Amino acid sequence: MSLIVKLADQDRRDVLPSLYNGLSNPPKFDNIDVFGILLANAIQLITTLCGVVAVIIVTWAGIQYITSQGDPRKVSEAKNTITYAVLGLILASGSYLIVEYLVRQFD
């Protein structure tokens, strides 16, 4: 049995969040609350994608660091890439937390 069939048979949570979490199936766009739900879900999706991209970039920079063979320029580039990826992840997480806080205040 292939891995794809096994995953399809399992009752599992999706890896990426859906834009329609919290809405009826099919969604009815009849009031402004639907826009807020879609916006919150889009922000969650973007934050998740930022996390995935940051992990990929840090992994790539780690490979560059390992294969730099002591070349100061390559080591510096790899360290800068890791630093910027982590800073980007912190900014994305911080923006998500700020939006979540504001949503809870106005709820």
d(CA 48, CA 21): 15
State the DSSP string of 26-53.
Answer: S----SHHHHHHHHHHHHHHHHHHHHHH
Task: Give the H/E segment covering residue 57.
Answer: helix 32-66
Q: How much is the pTM?
A: 0.67
pLDDT for 20 equals 67
45-77 pLDDT, tens digit per residue, is 888 888 899 999 999 999 999 999 989 999 999
